[in-house]
Structure 1
Amino acid sequence: MKPASDYLSYLQAHAGRFLSDVAVLSEQPNVLIALQAHYTVPAYTRSLFETYDIDFPSTLINAVPKRQSEFLAGRALARAALDRLLDTGVSIAIGEQGSPVWPGGVSGSISHSHGKCLCLVLAGEERLIGIDVEKVATGASLEAILKEALAPQERDRVFQQTRFDPAVLATLIFSAKETIFKALHPVVLQFFGFDAAVFNSIHSDQKLSLSIVHSLHPGIPQNKEILIDFDIDGEFVRTWTMLDRQTLAVQRSARSPAVGLG
């Protein structure tokens, strides 16, 4: 059965064991849409690509079911977002480094973690956007974040503050760095590590302050501060940002509205 013209309604009406709880987190018609869904890896089968009318990429032929299921959930949400925002359902190619290649006229970002998937799409290409979702790390995962994603001074800041549980803040910083990578990748066009951005402080209850400390691109000044929005949703954290492509200023104008994901 092929999806109806309203792809978001199709996903919501055909929620099942694999993809469920498809919801609009934020929407401004013709400007912005953010979607969220849950996906269940054990319920995944490759035939679901046909069910959701998503092309199965040859690059995933040898991928494990978990990776294939993440890809399918993300691309289904992205298609729904594009259909809702632009009234067109177009496929999203895979870039050389695995990142989505969005169609002209939009900027977008996808994230998935432990069965939760997010997609944020904005009309226009003058903004750089990133979104990320992570399950709050514990045990070995938390130790890996503290060791590999945070520098010593960042770890000190995590454990010296009292506003958040250290595990929550460490996960938020990890997520914020993922969001920065996604937002800046269309400009940098190459991989850069966690050490490229450094956590400064909790700017407010809903923002983190980070600085770009490596020379990533002539258009990205070193020590440039970037503010990352965040919220905490049970066991998960979400981070996102929208930056002016030319100045890297956080966008909060009528033309580039704030994203309320809470």
Structure 2
Amino acid sequence: MSCPPFPFLSVLPLATSTASSLSKIQLFSDTLQRLILARANFSIDSYQLSDFADLMLDFPGSIENSVLKRQAEYLAGRYLVRLGMQQSGLFNPEPPQLGIGLLRAPAWPDVVTGSITHHQHSACAVVLTQPLAINNFVGVDTELWLTSQQASEIAVSIHNPNELHILVSAGFTNEQATTLLFSAKEALFKAICPFIGGYFDFDAAELQACYYFAGNTATTGRSGCLQLQLTTNWVAARAPQQKYRCWFSCREVDVLTLVCSDKFVDFEDPEPSQVHVP
């Protein structure tokens, strides 16, 4: 049985046919099935244009001339969204197709909101079973671990020395710390962008602390949460709140981060003895 990426999620049964370009499809939810997370691997080599028709997904004209990777990741993301919306039970007979909305983000049906992410060969989608609101937001991101050169090239724009120190003190390498913060701030951007209505820089939010969950092992990987606080006045003035928890789940090749309203997380804060606070 697949292991949930976060301790407040449980595995859901999955019975569905897929295209040959998709594999390792997993479905998870919180106890009340208000937050539904779906993830899968996709293969660019196995992708075919006919996969869209096979999965009954619209092929938008905006990606008609895109490279195969873009088409394959779009297919994977939209398919995972549909799995999540089907699981919500809010659509009969079938959920609608997602359009493209503000800042090229998905245009969600009125009754739900969500977020999509992908990297080179993996995709993930999160669906909340309530409309977007000030107490109902979500952002998800996944990133392959950066190489030393990649991390050094972008580090100065991602975090300040204190943020780096927090994560290095928690046991991450410099490269891992930069990757994790890049992903966490991307997830935060997706979560609050609908309220901000525009782009903002990585220094608009600052890491305050890193917590580890009990039970982390070499098999399950490291997981925990980061405390982020908005530091840019104009962003903070429009955002739903000033402080956010970003949940993270580390695997050998990548990291998954999630920012969402606390009401969707059926999980009490760990006791001090169960966390690492640098």
TM range (shorter): 0.7 to 0.9
Q: 1:217 to 1:148 in 2, by over 3 A?
A: closer
AA in 2 matched with 1:34: L
Match of 1:235 in 2: 253
Task: Tell me the distance in 2 between the aligned counterparts of 1:14 and 1:209.
Answer: 37
What's the secondary structure of 2:109's corresponding residue?
A: coil
AA in 2 matched with 1:190: G
Superposed displacement of residue 183, structure 1: 0.3
Whether contact under 8 Å (1:200, 1:211) holds in the other structure is yes
Match of 1:154 among 154, 163, 187: 163
Whether contact under 8 Å (2:248, 2:257) holds in the other structure is yes
Q: After alignment, is 26-35 or 129-138 more displaced?
A: 26-35
Task: Tell me the distance in 1 between the aligned counterparts of 2:117 and 2:266.
Answer: 19
TM-score (norm 1): 0.82
Superposed displacement of residue 51, structure 1: 1.5
What's the secondary structure of 1:117's corresponding residue?
A: strand
Whether contact under 8 Å (1:145, 1:171) holds in the other structure is no
What's the secondary structure of 2:76's corresponding residue?
A: helix
Establish whether residue 190 from structure 1 lines up as the match of residue 198 from structure 2. Answer: yes
TM-score (norm 2): 0.77
AA in 2 matched with 1:238: L
Match of 2:64 among 56, 61, 64: 61
Match of 2:217 in 1: none
Task: Tell me the distance in 1 between the aligned counterparts of 2:29 and 2:244.
Answer: 22
Match of 1:218 among 230, 237, 241: 237
Task: Tell me the distance in 2 between the aligned counterparts of 1:71 and 1:45.
Answer: 12
AA in 1 matched with 2:60: P
Match of 1:139 in 2: 148
Task: Tell me the distance in 2 between the aligned counterparts of 1:124 and 1:44.
Answer: 33
Superposed displacement of residue 99, structure 1: 0.4
Superposed displacement of residue 168, structure 1: 2.1
Coordinate RMSD, CA, aligned: 2.4
Match of 1:25 among 10, 25, 28: 28
Whether contact under 8 Å (2:19, 2:51) holds in the other structure is no
Superposed displacement of residue 157, structure 1: 4.1
Identity of aligned residues (%): 30
Deviations 1:154-177 (A, max 9, x none): 344444x14223322221111110
Task: Tell me the distance in 2 between the aligned counterparts of 1:179 and 1:100.
Answer: 14
What's the secondary structure of 2:138's corresponding residue?
A: strand
Task: Tell me the distance in 2 between the aligned counterparts of 1:143 and 1:258.
Answer: 37
Whether contact under 8 Å (1:15, 1:21) holds in the other structure is no
Match of 1:14 among 15, 18, 22: 18
Q: Which has the higher strand share?
A: 1
Q: After alignment, is 179-188 or 79-88 more displaced?
A: 79-88
The runs of 5 or more residues in structure 2 that have no matched partner are 1-13, 214-223, 268-278
Match of 2:186 in 1: 178
Superposed displacement of residue 239, structure 1: 1.0
Task: Tell me the distance in 2 between the aligned counterparts of 1:32 and 1:167.
Answer: 30
Task: Tell me the distance in 2 between the aligned counterparts of 1:157 and 1:130.
Answer: 23
What's the secondary structure of 2:235's corresponding residue?
A: coil
Whether contact under 8 Å (1:146, 1:155) holds in the other structure is no
Deviations 1:26-85 (A, max 9, x none): 354552211111001122222211111111111112221111111111001101111111
Task: Tell me the distance in 2 between the aligned counterparts of 1:147 and 1:217.
Answer: 22
Q: 1:199 to 1:15 in 2, by over 3 A?
A: same
